[in-house]
Amino acid sequence: MAANEILEEARKLRVADDLELILIREREELTRFTFGHIHQNVAADDTVLFVRAWVEGKTGVAQTNDLSPEGVRRAAEEAAKLAKAQTKPAGYEPPGPSPYPEVQAFDEETWNATPALRAELVRRAVAEANQIGFNASGSLATGGEEIWIVTTRGIHAHFRSSSVRFVTVILGKEAGSGYAEFASTRIREFHPEEVAGRALEKAARSEKRIALPPGEYPVVLEEPAVATLIGMLSSMGFSARAVLENRSF
């Protein structure tokens, strides 16, 4: 059964005052390498349905990857059961339909990237490190996600995106190390020699490094380091749930 059909059938269930249905498909194919050679290819393709039910202003959430009619009904009934068990209203109502911008984030070539294509890109990324005897390790992942949202209040939304992410750590012969990464929605924007070259340069520059005594030192952070900090703050600290639960970060 197609995603839209699954959600439309679920929307008709009469188990709660309102239902919000979010179906998320995540697809990732990953190529890992170490010592300049590929050692693993893995793939995952999973679809999960999240059901939020409102009953007398209270809300409950359940999830399932059993997308059969029986599995969907069980998830909806479980969400309604959890909503009824709450001791106080949620404090907000389910939203109605509204316009939302179209985002062009899908690339067919990236979504369908093959292990052979990833292997060729990895080969190009590690070539120079292999030539000079440095150890290049890391991974190259391709795939994307697809999201459908349907509610009993008239919301019908769909979004599809592709992704490519490359990460490498290169170790030198005398304790030098360098890190670099790349991320995009289009695999054609990935230039492996350029990205791996940044890590290789840092590994070469940091050979024979000396120890510094403990203390305070000014540092300059690269974009990936700042992105990691912001990512952790946004997922763990700047959360509406944390505010509702009176938690700090």
Per-residue pLDDT of the chain in tens (249 residues, 90 and over written 9): 688 888 888 888 899 999 999 999 999 999 999 999 999 999 999 999 999 999 999 999 999 999 999 999 999 999 999 999 999 998 888 999 999 898 999 999 999 999 999 999 999 999 999 999 999 999 999 999 999 999 999 999 999 999 999 999 999 999 999 999 999 999 999 999 999 999 999 999 999 888 899 999 999 999 989 999 898 888 777 777 777 788 776
Closest by CA to 71, choosing from 15, 22, 21, 10, is 10
Expressed in angstroms, the distance from the first to the final Cα of the chain is 43
Q: Which of 3.40.50.2000, 3.30.1330.90, 3.30.420.10, 3.30.2290.10 is the CATH number of 3-206?
A: 3.30.2290.10
| b (16+ CB within 10 A) / e for 117-145 | bbeebbeebbebbeeeebbbbbbbbbbbb
Asked whether 166 and 32 are in contact (CB, 8 A), the reply is no
Measuring CA to CA, how many Å separate 175 from each of 111, 125, 132? 37, 21, 15
Identify the DSSP state of 185. Answer: S
Name every residue whose Cβ is closer than 8 Å to that of residue 34 and which is 6 or more positions away in sequence. 135, 137
Q: Is the dihedral of CA 87, 57, 147, 14 positive or negative?
A: positive
Query: Helix 69-85 vs helix 3-11: angle between axes, to the nearest 10 degrees?
Result: 40
Alpha carbons 25 and 7: distance in angstroms, whole number: 13
Q: What are the residue ranges of CATH 3.30.2290.10 in the chain?
A: 3-206
d(CA 53, CA 61) in angstroms, rounded, equals 6
Q: In the block, which residue shows the tokens 């679920």? A: 10
The number of helices, as runs of H, and strands, as runs of E, in the chain is: 7, 6
- Residue 22 near residue 49, CB atoms below 8 Å: yes
Q: Rounded to two decimals, what is the model's pTM? A: 0.86
Largest CA distance in the chain: 69
Q: Return the pLDDT at 52.
A: 96
What's the pLDDT at 249? 67
